[in-house]
């Protein structure tokens, strides 16, 4: 029972709790409904408040926008006012002042105007801006004109022809040898021999004073900023081109035509060539080089038009300089003046690398081309002149011979010429495009020299045929070929042509000497022939063969021997009288030739007298027929070729001159 009572009490307590929970839930639901009503009322109040505040917010926003607009307007107005002030400041300088009074202030005024122009075209667009822009353009136009005038004034003032003394002072490596007067004096030819590398050590002349250069550079840079440099280039080109031409004229470089060149005498031509070679180096290395640097300094920066400007500044002066070379090329150059072409070719070739360096860039291509064209023209003309010389030798008049068979002037002329070719072999190799080979004998220089000698020998052979006396023709060839051989043997040409060539030519000399002896003395030896004669001792002798034949025959009659001796005397004297006036200029060759004659004549004469002399010597007229003893005969032979020759027909060491005469 107690358990049941406990269970009943627990159930009653549970029911009480459940009731409390139900009451709590009912109370909560009532509170939620009341809160929802309150929330709805609050929302309605907030909407009403927003509606009431909206006009106030709009008025505040509009007020802020107005304030911001006012602020920006005031800022813009301030900028406009400041730029208008800049215009007024610049206007005062541009209208009242000139660039030469205060260039920095003038340039500053231009900067102000460009700043104003940029402001009103890029940032502010308004009616006032349009008016200001027009005014600024007017002022800038006037300012640019002022800059152009100032650039012209300064450049004209500082652009003067370079004095010769200043040019001379730029050549320290040579000033110990020459005075400044020598630059245009007679010794200019020696000066032209100075190699180009000496010019590489020189300093460039100052064309414009540094203080002017700074001002010119400022003006030029401002023209570039204002995009009006074209007019400045025209001013620069006109003034500097004229100044450079006056400098060349002061040097003595003027435009030369073909007609003027043809009127120049040979000796004057050589002096003019020497001067031109010298002045070409001065003009290219010093003057053009200095002009290039000046142009770069005035127009600073990498601009294509700057190269055009420099090319146009130097174009006319370069044309004047090259006109001399063009006139030489177009003129008729005699073969003996080939060295003129080669000297000029060598000088222009040496300068070509410097020309390429100074006139670099596409804008200067015509300048480079004109210089290179002259170099090629000189090479082609020199090549043609060498070919013409070969033709000249071959076609030289065959009737032009020497009366005495001595050395023909053409021979000495050609030998001097081939020595000259040897001296200029480096230039000739370049002209003919020879490869750089180790064996010099394989070069075109050798073929040209051998060709000239062959042409000479061919012409000499034709000349020799003009002699009615064959002996004199052989003597003529002997003398001339010997001259060639000895000339070459005593010069550096012997190493170029080689010992074999010289030995072949010496054999040819010997052959002509032998032929001369046979032709000239055969009839004399015939008088001493013992063929058919019998001596008093009964032996037959053939003296010409140097042999004896024992025969049995009758004694030769005295009258036959006398007739033989008389014939010998007459022919011997005729030959001696005639050949006394023949010439063998070389003393050693003359002695050798006389010895050759004596070697066949004296033994024959001694043998004839030994075997047939007794038939005559006892007669009363023995001296009439036996006029000569072997000793007197030898003495008479010594008088052969005794004619005194002109000094220029004798080979001397001084014959090895540089240029042919």
Q: Which position has the token pair 């205060």?
A: 102
Instruction: Report the C-alpha gap between 59 and 64 in whole angstroms.
Output: 9
Asked if residue 67 is part of any domain, the answer here is yes
Query: According to the model, what pLDDT value does residue 236 have?
Result: 93
* Listed range (174-178, 306-310, 501-505) with the worst mean pLDDT: 174-178
Instruction: Report the C-alpha gap between 634 and 645 in whole angstroms.
Output: 23
Residues 319 and 433 in one domain: no
Residues 279 and 419 in one domain: no
Residues 164 and 115 in one domain: no
Asked if residue 309 is part of any domain, the answer here is yes
pLDDT digits (tens, 9 = 90+) for 207-243: 988 888 988 988 888 888 777 778 889 999 999 999 9
Residues 318 and 412 in one domain: no
Long-range CB contacts (within 8 A, 24+) of 149-153:
149/99, 150/98, 150/99, 150/100, 150/103, 150/219, 151/216, 151/219, 151/220, 151/223, 151/232, 151/235, 151/236, 152/235, 152/239, 153/100
The parent domain of residue 649 ranges over 520-530+555-656
What is the SS3 string spanning 442-466?
Answer: HCHHHHHHHHHHHHHHHHHHHHHCC
Domain boundary at 309, 336, 371, which? Answer: 371
> Over pLDDT 90: what percentage of the chain?
29
Query: Which residues, in sequence order, are CB contacts of 408 under 8 Å at separation 6+?
Result: 400, 401, 402, 460, 463, 476, 480
Query: Mean pLDDT throughout 151-162?
Result: 90
The 8-class DSSP code of residue 534 comes to B
Residues 46 and 127 in one domain: yes
Query: According to the model, what pLDDT value does residue 573 have?
Result: 92
The 8-class DSSP code of residue 474 comes to H
Residues 363 and 412 in one domain: no
Asked if residue 423 is part of any domain, the answer here is yes
Cβ atoms of 352 and 371 within 8 Å: the answer is: yes
How many domains are there within the chain?
Answer: 4
Query: Between 206 and 77, whose confidence is greater?
Result: 206
pLDDT digits (tens, 9 = 90+) for 331-376: 877 776 788 888 899 989 989 999 999 999 898 999 999 999 999 9
Residues 169 and 118 in one domain: no
Asked if residue 256 is part of any domain, the answer here is yes
Cβ atoms of 406 and 480 within 8 Å: the answer is: no
Residues 559 and 599 in one domain: yes
Query: According to the model, what pLDDT value does residue 323 have?
Result: 94
Asked if residue 189 is part of any domain, the answer here is no
Query: Between 557 and 126, whose confidence is greater?
Result: 557
Q: Is residue 650 predicted with pLDDT exceeding 50?
A: no
Residues 450 and 499 in one domain: yes
pLDDT digits (tens, 9 = 90+) for 391-437: 888 888 888 889 999 999 999 988 888 888 888 888 888 888 744 33
Q: Is residue 645 predicted with pLDDT exceeding 50?
A: no
Asked if residue 197 is part of any domain, the answer here is no
The 8-class DSSP code of residue 550 comes to E
Query: According to the model, what pLDDT value does residue 188 have?
Result: 38
Q: What is the pTM of this model?
A: 0.67
Domain boundary at 458, 478, 511, which? Answer: 511
Instruction: Report the C-alpha gap between 356 and 365 in whole angstroms.
Output: 9
Joined tokens for residue 582? 């023949």
**Count of other CB atoms within 10 angstroms of residue 136:** 26
Query: Mean pLDDT throughout 512-534?
Result: 87
Query: According to the model, what pLDDT value does residue 618 have?
Result: 77
Residues 576 and 498 in one domain: no
**Count of other CB atoms within 10 angstroms of residue 606:** 16
Query: According to the model, what pLDDT value does residue 34 have?
Result: 77
Asked if residue 185 is part of any domain, the answer here is no
Residues 503 and 639 in one domain: no
CATH number of the structural domain spanning residue 617: 1.20.1280.170
Average pLDDT, the chain: 78
Instruction: Report the C-alpha gap between 287 and 314 in whole angstroms.
Output: 10
CATH number of the structural domain spanning residue 360: 1.20.1310
Asked if residue 55 is part of any domain, the answer here is yes
Instruction: Report the C-alpha gap between 501 and 127 in whole angstroms.
Output: 100
Residues in the chain: 661
Q: Is residue 127 predicted with pLDDT exceeding 60?
A: no
Joined tokens for residue 80? 């406009």
Element spanning 227, H or E: none
- DSSP lists the bridge partners of residue 110 as none
Residues 89 and 133 in one domain: yes
pLDDT digits (tens, 9 = 90+) for 42-75: 777 777 776 766 776 566 666 556 555 555 544 4
Q: How far is CA 443 from CA 447, 448, 454, 658, in A?
A: 7, 9, 17, 21
The band of 94, judged by pLDDT with boundaries at 50, 70 and 90, is low
Nearest Cα neighbor of 428 from 322, 331, 325, 341 is 341
The band of 178, judged by pLDDT with boundaries at 50, 70 and 90, is very low
């Amino acid at each position: 029972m107690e358990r049941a009572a406990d269970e009943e009490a627990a159930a009653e307590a549970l029911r009480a709790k459940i009731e409390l929970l139900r009451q709590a839930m009912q109370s909560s639901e009532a509170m939620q409904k009341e809160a929802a009503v309150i929330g709805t009322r609050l929302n309605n109040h907030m909407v009403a408040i927003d509606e009431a505040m909206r006009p106030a917010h709009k008025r505040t926003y509009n007020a802020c926008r107005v304030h911001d607009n006012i602020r920006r307007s005031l800022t813009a107005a301030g900028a406009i006012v400041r730029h208008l002030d800049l215009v007024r400041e610049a206007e005062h300088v541009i209208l009242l002042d000139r660039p030469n009074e205060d260039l920095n202030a003038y340039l500053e005024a231009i900067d102000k105007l460009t700043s104003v122009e940029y402001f009103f075209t890029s940032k502010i667009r308004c009616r006032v801006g349009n008016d200001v822009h027009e005014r600024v353009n007017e002022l800038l136009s006037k300012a640019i004109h002022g800059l152009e005038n100032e650039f012209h004034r300064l450049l004209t003032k500082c652009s003067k022809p370079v004095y010769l003394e200043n040019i001379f002072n730029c050549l320290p490596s040579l000033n110990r040898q020459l005075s400044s007067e020598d630059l245009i004096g007679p010794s200019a030819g020696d000066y032209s021999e100075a190699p180009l590398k000496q010019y590489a050590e020189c300093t460039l002349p100052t064309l414009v004073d540094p203080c002017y250069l700074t001002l010119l550079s400022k003006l030029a840079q401002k023209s570039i900023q204002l995009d009006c440099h074209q007019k400045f280039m025209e001013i620069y080109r006109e003034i500097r081109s004229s100044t450079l031409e006056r400098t060349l004229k002061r040097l003595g470089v003027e435009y030369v035509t073909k007609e003027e060149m043809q009127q120049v005498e040979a000796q004057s031509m050589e002096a003019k060539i020497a001067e031109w070679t010298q002045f070409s180096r001065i003009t290219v290395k010093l003057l053009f080089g200095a002009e290039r640097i000046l142009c770069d300094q005035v127009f600073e920066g990498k601009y294509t038009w700057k190269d055009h400007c420099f090319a146009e500044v130097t174009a006319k002066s370069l044309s004047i300089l090259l006109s001399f070379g063009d006139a030489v090329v177009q003129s008729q150059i005699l073969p003996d003046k080939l060295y003129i072409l080669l000297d000029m070719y060598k000088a222009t070739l040496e300068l070509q690398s410097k020309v390429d360096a100074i006139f670099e860039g596409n804008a200067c291509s015509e300048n480079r081309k004109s210089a290179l064209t002259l170099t090629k023209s000189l090479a082609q003309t020199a090549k043609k002149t060498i070919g013409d010389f070969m033709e000249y030798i071959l076609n030289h008049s065959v009737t032009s011979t020497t009366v005495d068979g001595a050395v023909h002037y053409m021979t000495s002329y050609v030998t001097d010429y081939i020595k000259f070719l040897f001296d200029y072999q480096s230039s000739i190799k370049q002209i003919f495009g020879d490869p750089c080979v180790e064996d010099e004998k394989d070069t075109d220089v050798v073929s040209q020299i051998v060709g000239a000698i062959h042409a000479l020998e061919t012409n000499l052979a034709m000349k020799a045929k003009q002699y009615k006396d064959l002996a004199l023709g052989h003597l003529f060839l002997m003398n001339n070929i010997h001259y060639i051989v000895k000339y070459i043997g005593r010069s550096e040409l012997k190493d170029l042509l080689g010992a074999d060539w010289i030995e072949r030519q010496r054999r040819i000399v010997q052959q002509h000497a032998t032929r001369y002896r046979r032709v000239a003395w055969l009839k004399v030896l015939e008088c001493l022939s013992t063929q058919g004669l019998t001596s008093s001792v009964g032996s037959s002798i053939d003296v010409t063969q140097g042999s004896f034949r024992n025969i049995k025959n009758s004694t030769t009659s005295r009258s036959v021997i006398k007739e033989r001796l008389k014939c010998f005397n007459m022919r011997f004297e005729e030959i001696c009288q005639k050949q006394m006036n023949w010439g063998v200029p070389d003393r050693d060759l003359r002695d050798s030739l006389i010895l050759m004659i004596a070697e066949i004549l004296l033994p024959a004469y001694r043998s004839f007298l030994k075997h047939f002399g007794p038939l005559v010597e006892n007669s009363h007229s023995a001296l009439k027929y036996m006029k000569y003893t072997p000793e007197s005969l030898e003495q008479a032979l010594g008088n052969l070729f005794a004619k005194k020759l002109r000094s220029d027909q004798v080979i001397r060491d001084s014959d090895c001159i540089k240029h042919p005469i």
